[in-house]
């Protein structure tokens, strides 16, 4: 899964021959799961039609503040467009537009939106060789980068004039790759590795039956996605779960029993910076596993149970520099029990949720949590979807690591 998935991208198109490439550019963004809106300068419509771009982006294309044909139509609000975007890309960025951006000239909708944007701005220059190497262009490129905008360098090749040299707009695939790599390089967990456990464990009684619980893995998988979206490489050790993740930064390791999860957790623990144990591990397992299916009879069936290994406590005992986070699902004396677990298992933080809270717990799409750190500081959150809860958890971990 790309870091651009679900991101809102505002594409500004100016009047250069390279504008024809923007159809492919929009298509690539959409394919990666981004939401794309397009603003065109009036002159850019001579190079590519708004109809093509609106069809590909699945959004209307704007090029003016209002429609001259319809006096009753509302104006296109450049402020709303600028605030809407997670990222703004101006491609192609002609010499004319670069000059206007540098000097704050605001004579069309695209430039008005650019001046209103609060998001990162990327720009991909496109012009002929002599224009590209002109001192005024070089000065404008330097000035825009001093504003914090990100230059996607032009490449060398055959230009519209027939000359061969620098000034050719980067190819759409290279533009998308550049933006993805730039975003990842600035993520707060870039270079960090995370161990994460999720889902239930199943403890075999016989070849057919097992002891398990109602955990779906939704919370753990949501945390895996949230961590990967912050740039971390995630080793996700999952018990039996139907949940899926397609993020390229998440490596899934499937296990069934608590013993298997214990082995895999210790296998990866020395490699990671952060460990988050969100799995609902069975506390007990049958002392003896029967090799054949137990036949039903009228007699009472008794199964002797023995404790499973405590994965969280065992990691806390060998912890070095890792930031270790546990989970506590409680039904009574919630805070007291969570704090005791936090201290006893040598954790850096614990995430508490209660079976008493409606909408929290197993197999739901929502959760309500309180995060407690090793100094017993508490931070409670309202009921949210687990995707949002996962973001809250990861943001709190990032904040703790930065202190």
Beta strands in 59-192 (DSSP E): 61-62, 87-93, 121-125, 150-151, 155-158, 164-168
Instruction: Give the CATH architecture of domain 8-185.
Output: 3-Layer(aba) Sandwich (3.40)
388: which residues sit within 8 A by CB, 6+ positions away?
A: none
> If you compute the radius of gyration of the chain from its CA atoms, what whole number of angstroms results?
27
- CATH topology agreement for domains 8-185 and 193-293+301-402: yes
Percent of the chain whose predicted confidence (pLDDT) is above 70: 95
What are 181-212's pLDDT values in tens digits? 999 899 999 999 999 999 999 999 999 999 99
**Does residue 213 have an active-site annotation?**
yes
Q: Which of 138, 48, 32 is nearest to 92 (CA)?
A: 48
Q: For domain 193-293+301-402, is the CATH number 3.40.30.10?
A: no
**Which pLDDT band holds residue 372 (cuts at 50, 70, 90)?**
very high
What are 1-52's pLDDT values in tens digits? 788 988 999 999 999 999 999 999 999 999 999 999 999 999 999 999 999 9
**Is the pLDDT reported for residue 73 higher than 90?**
no
What are 127-183's pLDDT values in tens digits? 988 899 999 999 999 999 999 999 999 998 877 777 677 888 999 999 999 999 999
**Is the pLDDT reported for residue 298 higher than 80?**
no
Catalytic annotation, pick one of 59, 77, 213, 346: 213
Q: Which of 91, 98, 102 is nearest to 132 (CA)?
A: 98
More confident residue, 347 or 78: 347
Domain ranges across the chain: 8-185, 193-293+301-402
Q: What single string gives the DSSP state of each residue in 38-82?
A: EEE-GGGGGTS-HHHHHHHHTS-EE-SSS-SS-TTSPP--HHHHH
Supply the mean pLDDT for the chain: 91
């Amino acid at each position: 899964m790309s870091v651009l998935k679900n991101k809102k991208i505002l594409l500004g198109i100016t009047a250069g021959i390279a504008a024809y490439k923007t159809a492919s550019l929009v298509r690539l963004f959409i394919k990666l799961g981004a939401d794309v809106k397009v603003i065109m300068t009036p002159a850019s419509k001579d190079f590519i039609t708004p109809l093509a771009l609106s069809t590909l982006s699945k959004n209307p294309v704007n090029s003016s503040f209002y429609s001259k044909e319809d006096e009753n139509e509302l104006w296109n609000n450049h402020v709303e467009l600028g605030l809407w975007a997670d990222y703004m890309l101006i491609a192609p960025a002609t010499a004319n537009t670069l000059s206007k951006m540098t000097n704050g000239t605001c004579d069309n909708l695209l430039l008005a939106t650019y001046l209103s944007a609060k998001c990162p701005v990327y720009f991909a220059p496109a012009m002929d060789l002599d224009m590209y190497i002109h001192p005024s262009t070089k000065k404008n490129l330097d000035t825009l980068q001093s504003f914090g905008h990100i230059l996607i360098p032009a490449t060398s090749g055959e230009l519209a004039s027939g000359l061969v040299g620098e000034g050719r707009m980067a190819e759409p695939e290279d533009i998308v790759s550049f933006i993805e790599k730039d975003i990842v390089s600035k993520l707060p967990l870039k270079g960090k590795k995370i161990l994460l456990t999720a889902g239930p464990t199943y403890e075999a009684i016989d070849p057919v039956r097992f002891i398990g619980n109602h955990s779906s893995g939704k919370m753990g998988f949501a945390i895996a996605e949230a961590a990967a979206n912050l740039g971390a490489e995630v080793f996700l050790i999952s018990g039996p779960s139907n949940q899926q993740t397609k993020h390229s930064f998440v490596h899934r390791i499937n296990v069934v029993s608590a013993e298997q999860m214990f082995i895999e957790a210790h296998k990866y623990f020395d490699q990671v910076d952060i460990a988050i144990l969100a799995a609902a591990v069975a506390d007990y397992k049958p002392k003896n596993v029967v090799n054949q299916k137990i036949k039903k009879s009228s007699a009472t069936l008794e199964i002797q149970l023995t404790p499973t290994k405590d994965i969280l406590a065992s990691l806390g005992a060998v912890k070095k520099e890792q930031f270790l986070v546990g989970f506590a699902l409680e039904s009574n004396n919630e805070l007291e029990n969570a704090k005791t677990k936090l201290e006893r298992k040598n954790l850096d933080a614990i995430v508490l949720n209660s079976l008493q809270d409606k909408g929290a717990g197993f197999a739901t799409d929502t959760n309500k949590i309180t995060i407690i750190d090793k100094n017993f500081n508490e931070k409670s959150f309202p009921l949210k979807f687990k995707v949002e809860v996962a973001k809250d958890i990861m943001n709190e971990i990032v904040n703790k690591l930065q202190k």
